[in-house]
Structure 1
Amino acid sequence: MIINSINNLKSGLKVTFKGEPFLVLSNEFVKPGKGQAFSRVTLRNLLTNKLIDKTFRSTDLLEEANIIDVNLLYLYKDNRQYIFMNEKCFEYIAVDRKILGSNVKWLLEQTHYVVTLWNNNPISVCFNNFISLKVVSLNILVTGDRIHKSYQLATLSTGVIVKVPLFIKVNNVVKIDIRSGEYISRIQ
């Protein structure tokens, strides 16, 4: 679908620019006293996550990107690909490890994730900011900082090791902030 005018770009719209998908973050329409009107647009590349600022003439056209978000069930890992399934049509989608990035350590089997598809190819997987995981084992006691807190190292069900308070026991379920990898609370 072609957008009639650059002036119609709104924040949140996904467009194709130079053959790649971009998310419009902002659009500032400028009509100078002399000359042709133009727009200053800030775009985020959905493949590389880089920001670009671009100036478009008011007569320029951009194509709307063929991007959809689909709720998929994560099934298993196969070499460097992670297999997800659309439960509505039982279609399998393989996601490459580089798309998951460092979040791969938080991936749980039999859990739903929102996968973004561009022209039916996965380009990103959306993770919740918080995850609840079971403590599999506890290790070495770690002395804390200036306020003299002590921690123990817990190995979680995904294999990730995090610092947890001393009252956490094996088989407890803990809430972790995946953005920082830090313990938040114990789940009762």
Structure 2
Amino acid sequence: MASTADIRNGVVLNLDGALWNVVEFQHVKPGKGGAFVRTKLKNVVTGKVVDRTYNAGAKIEVENVDRRDFQYLYRDGEDFVFMDASTYDQVPVTATVVGDAANFLLENQTATVAMNNDIPLYVELPASVVLEITYTEPGLQGDRSTGGTKPATVETGYQIQVPLFLETGTKVKVDTRTGDYLGRVS
């Protein structure tokens, strides 16, 4: 058991059997009354964000979450198989745990997998990845970079919006958090 003095950004708390990641915290000492800690917590599994307030010195349960780099190997039915680069252990991760990261995962790509008691909690990718456009409508004469956008399918099968001048086979940088086109890669 820990106390509210141990609350920091990134700490994972066990509240009512669910794991919550501390996104923000603030120690408050009002002029009148006792001190307290105001927190913003994000559910590790569902992503739900809630605000909780604790009295100073209250007991909280802190969980140990191990974040390690894994290499994505392949998809096996509904599971994604990752390999720990240091031990060569292969870990199957369900599609619900991988979530939207599946749209940007390529074989042999490195990703951070957060584990608690050897159970995968979530998968984090780098802020951006480089993907090749596998299909898009051809650009027309006069299409410029300041014009509109068109849909393009990248090598993972995910569809993004790209400028009109881009063609099939072009490598592009894509933001993994939003799925937005960031630029061409030569």
Determine helix, strand or coil for the equivalent of 2:101.
helix
What is the 5 A alignment of 1:104-183? Answer: 104-139=102-137, 149-183=147-181
1:1-188 pair list within 5 angstroms:
2-3=1-2, 5-24=3-22, 25-30=24-29, 33=32, 37-139=35-137, 149-188=147-186
Give me the whole-angstrom Cα distance separating, in 1, the residues matched to 2:90 and 2:124.
Answer: 17
Contact kept in structure 2, 1:66 and 1:118, CA below 8 Å: yes
1:138 CA displacement: 2.8
Once residues 38 and 184 of structure 1 are traced to their aligned partners in structure 2, the CA distance between those partners, rounded to angstroms, is 42
In the alignment, residue 98 of structure 2 is paired with which amino acid? L
The DSSP-based 3-state class of the residue aligned with 1:93 is strand
Whether the 8 Å CA contact 1:155–1:162 is kept in 2: the answer is yes
Shift in Å at residue 149 of structure 1? 2.4
Letter in 2 for 1:28: H
Aligned-pair CA distance for 1:32: 6.5
Pair 1:42–1:109, CA change in 2 (3 A)? same
Distance in 2 (alpha carbons) for counterparts of 1:18 and 1:32 = 32
In structure 2, runs of 5+ residues without a counterpart are: 141-145
Amino acid at match of 1:9: I
Identical amino acids, percent of aligned pairs = 26
Q: Which stretches of structure 1, 4 residues or more, deviate above 6 A after TM superposition?
A: none
What code does the residue aligned with 1:52 have? Answer: V
Classify 1:152/1:10 alpha carbon distance in 2 versus 1 (closer, same or farther; 3 Å).
Answer: closer
Shift of 1:79: 1.3
Structure 1: state its 5+ residue gaps. 143-147
Change (3 A) 1:41 1:32: farther
SS of equivalent to 1:84: strand
**TM superposition shift of 1:151:** 4.4
Instruction: Please name the residue that 1:145 is paired with.
Output: none
| 1:32-66 C-alpha deviation (Å, 9 max, x unpaired) | 745x5543333222122222223333343122212
CA distance in 2, matches of 1:51, 1:150: 35
Q: Secondary structure at the match of 1:169?
A: coil
Equivalent-residue separation in structure 2 for 1:164 and 1:111 (angstroms) = 23
Pairwise CA RMSD:
2.6
Whole-angstrom CA distance in 1 between matches of 2:164 and 2:21: 44
**Normalised by the size of structure 2, how large is the TM-score?**
0.82
* Alignment coverage as a number of residue pairs: 181
Cα distance in 1 between the residues matched to 2:160 and 2:149? 10
The structure with more radius of gyration = 1
C-alpha change, 1:77 and 1:6, in structure 2 (3 Å) is same
